[in-house]
């Protein structure tokens, strides 16, 4: 057999082996991310089609409060990375602070979204009416729902880390527990995905407006 074919076969085999070794929870998260991505892709395409013969957004600008919320959400991903670092360093106090900060930023982002919707409503873009306006609210609202799920998981992680922060033994058990490590890793991946997804949506809205 040709050497190049052997090399390709080895690379193909190693890829399959990586998939087989992937933790079931990671596989579920990956499938979930792919599913969510497809849903938003369909909504963005449908939204773009709805704008072809409508000028509803011709004189409407993207609310500045949404831009502020986008920056806050981006900052929350950075704070979550610092939380992961604190977790590996067995620094429960820093971990609690960073998770709390991510939650606060998530809440601020949510508030910015609601204020942005109010500003759009005042500008003449309504949830009921022309389809382009409906898609705008549905896309941003659906993202906020997924973000709320991530915030719920963050609250659970915060409660658990708070319970062990004053007990060095429990804290050590937590940071060395593969299940706790995996759970925080999955949560981080999900949050970063939502941040990246919103950045793509934000620039899309920025282009449309």
Number of domains in the chain: 1
Can you give the pTM of this predicted structure? 0.85
69-78 pLDDT, tens digit per residue, is 999 999 999 9
Whichever domain contains 182, its CATH number is 1.20.120.80
Give 50's Cβ-side CA count (13 Å radius): 17
**pLDDT in 10s for each residue of the chain, 209 residues:** 455 545 444 445 555 556 556 678 788 899 999 999 999 999 999 888 877 655 555 556 788 899 999 999 999 999 999 999 999 888 888 999 999 999 999 999 999 999 999 988 887 777 766 666 778 889 999 999 999 999 999 999 899 888 887 777 777 777 778 888 888 999 999 999 999 999 999 999 888 77
Long-range CB contacts (within 8 A, 24+) of 85-92: 87/175, 87/181, 87/184, 88/175, 90/171, 90/172, 90/175, 92/161, 92/164, 92/165, 92/171
Domain hosting residue 149, numbered range: 3-208
């Amino acid at each position: 057999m040709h050497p190049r074919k052997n090399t390709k076969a080895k690379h193909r085999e190693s890829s399959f082996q990586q998939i087989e070794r992937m933790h079931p929870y990671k596989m579920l998260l990956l499938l979930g991310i792919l599913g969510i991505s497809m849903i938003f892709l369909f909504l963005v395409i449908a939204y773009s089609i709805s704008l072809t013969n409508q000028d509803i957004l011709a004189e409407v600008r993207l609310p500045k409060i949404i831009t502020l919320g986008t920056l806050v959400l981006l900052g929350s991903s950075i704070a979550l990375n610092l939380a992961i670092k604190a977790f590996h360093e067995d620094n429960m106090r820093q971990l609690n602070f960073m998770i709390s900060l991510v939650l606060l930023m998530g809440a601020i982002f949510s508030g910015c979204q609601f204020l942005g919707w109010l500003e759009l409503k005042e500008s003449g873009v309504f949830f009921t009416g022309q389809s382009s306006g409906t898609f705008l609210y549905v896309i941003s609202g659906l993202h906020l729902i997924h973000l709320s799920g991530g915030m719920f998981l963050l609250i659970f992680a915060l409660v658990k880390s708070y319970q062990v922060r004053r007990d060095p033994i429990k804290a050590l058990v937590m940071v060395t527990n593969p299940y706790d490590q995996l759970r925080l890793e999955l949560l981080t991946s999900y949050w970063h995905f939502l941040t990246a997804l919103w950045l793509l949506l934000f620039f899309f809205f920025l282009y449309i407006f």
